[in-house]
Structure 1
Amino acid sequence: MATSIDLPEKMKALVLRSTHEPPSVETIPTPQPTVGSAIVRVLVANTISYMRDIYNGKRRYPFPTPLVTGTSFIGRVAAVGPDATKIKPGDLVVVDIMIRSRDEPTDAFLAGVIQGFTEGSAKLMRDVYRDWSYAEYCRAPLENLTLLNERRLTGAKQDGGLGYSLSQLAVSSAHMVPYGGLRDIGLQAGQTVVIAPATGAFGGAAVNVALAMGARVIAMGRSKDSLAFLKSKIPHPERVETVPITGDMMADCKELKKYGPIDAYFDIGPPEAHASTHIKSCIIALRHGARISIMGGYREDIAIPHSFIMHSNIRIYGKWMYERQDIYDLFKLVESGLLDLSVAEVTGEYPLEEWKAAWDDAAENARFGQIALIKP
């Protein structure tokens, strides 16, 4: 038998029936726990800057419909399946959207967002975990729940806590992604990493994570004002250098080299930046034997300086999202006080019925630390 808090028969959810029409709040059956899953009461769900473009079809992400939309979220466990041995009702958890098949981990998808790139991942989203977190309750795989040390994270500072609100904890989802890439290339304390572009939500989070890992950061971006804003918000600004992307590849490379030797380059550019000069500038500025993490959202191929990469023994790593262990370890950085989530600037908190205002807010306020939240 599953262990649970009393679940209502029905719940509210934001349902998308087609990318040709807006979603609507509907009353649907509350999900029930199964073997390998838990039901989580959604407390605070994130938005991302391009949320509108996902669900209006502009980004052309494949996913089944009808779909209960959503992102990663902070929630409280309401029920667990019979095989749960640690997670229990009442636990505070972060639930991330990277779902992997248990018998073929390369079949992976982002719950509520995209069905992945294999037949197996499409089947898993379509038939098992189609509905997600823009709802009062969400059914998620047990392995997607990371148990949070509630006393440490949200407790009062005079009692040994860090004093975070649940809304501040929600900004952790933007940090999970770059942490996966930075861990993948083995970034170490004392090393120098160039992060580009660094002024958006994920790029800025990459700067914050790299600093927490003990690295020195060179942050690149097209706007000097945005770079100055990032440096004013980030902890340990003394370990951050900023270099504007001017479009002059060699001049930018020369500027980067002033802060060398550079051990690593982390790229998280948006789709429209696939032809940006910063990619080659950053690569050519690297030291011999450096590493590159490619996590950008490019839909087109990018040009790389083949000869330089070959003769400099540069290693290039691709990373989609993160591994399970990365989330656990990320929160250890938070609990230790090394990773500061107080940089979060909550631009708005919205009920399900105000989903459009939430998505507009997210699109208009997409700088580092800014986050619009949905509270079902």
Structure 2
Amino acid sequence: MLNIIDVFSGAGGLTEGFRDHTQFKFICHIEMDKAACASLELRNIYYYLKKINNLSPYFEYIQGKSSKEKLYSIVPNEITSDILSLEISESTLSSIFDFIDNRLGADALDGIIGGPPCQAYSIIGRANNKKKKTSDTRIYLYKYYLDFCNRYKPKFFVFENVKGLLSFKDISGELLLDKIIREFDSIGYTIDYKLINTLDFGVPQKRERVIIVGYRKDLILNKSFFECLYKHTEASPNLKELFDDLPSIKAGKSSKKYRYDNKSKFVKKYIRSKDDVLTQHIARPHNENDLRIYKLVLNAKKRGKSLRYNDIPIELQTHSNTTSFLDRYKALDYDSVSHTIVAHISKDGHYYIHPDLRQNRSISVREAARIQGFPDSFYFESSRTTAFRQIGNAVPPILSFKIASAILDFLE
């Protein structure tokens, strides 16, 4: 059994893939966002009830047929006690260490997984944050990994982040990744990293991310982590296959009933089991102006053209900026996979227009979750907006399952 902690957990996308391996035991999850912590708690409850073969109370709750109080009343307190809702900072670090120490007892910590907030490193983020770069503490959140590694000497850690980390320079003008590698080397860890595309691992989405894996230098390992990871490549389904069992809904509407029993091998494998109920298939409302634009953008997409904002009829243009961010409306294609789901989807759905013209809307929470590789049994607290944000920030669980598999193979 490998004892691990999940830092900067979010709703638990990275956690989800590791849960499916009995060789890992979670000591704790650390996350500052309250809604994400609520989702983590609920997922803990799901796995507890599944283990005792009594999922009915869970399904009743996520369908709105039962209260949260009633659900929690039948679950032992310790089931949700591993979640620490706290920002990782200099002022909280000692409290976090105490929390981990109490939960570990005399046992050793074997691994750390997580992904610090990536806005500072992303190409768009660094442009937006240029003025406050000198005071942006998010740039150095990786240093808390150094603190955890110095204290607990785990065998390994996994650090997921955006492609922009490869080229990001810190306030001294130095490539940050080079600095990260040197600092971990100085405390006894070898670093390996690679830019991967989740599309290669069965996730129905083009999503490039940097995976950094560190391991203690004293470990005698005969394999490369990424050699192990690439044993798990898999073809991704197109969106037609991914969405096929979901009912048609209009903007602002929702549905709680599948169209029919699932027929897709992929959906059966990763997304939907026979006992699942449909939840959070809810689409945000749109004004008439946006709905007219959606039709134009989707029709252009079907002709093989990407409609830019300044191509839209002048009477539909409501933004004064017509020189930048011209791809602010983007349609999905049934015959392909999605482009990257990001947290901005919580603000509007213009970048994720549903491929079915008859539905004329942006994608629902459940559709976004499926694109990100979350199973239908996963419920996101506590509103549509927070659900979208949690999904956009998550590591796809399908990928995290394969990362976990590769870690076990690598450390064998």
TM norm structure 1 = 0.35
Structure number with greater Rg is 2
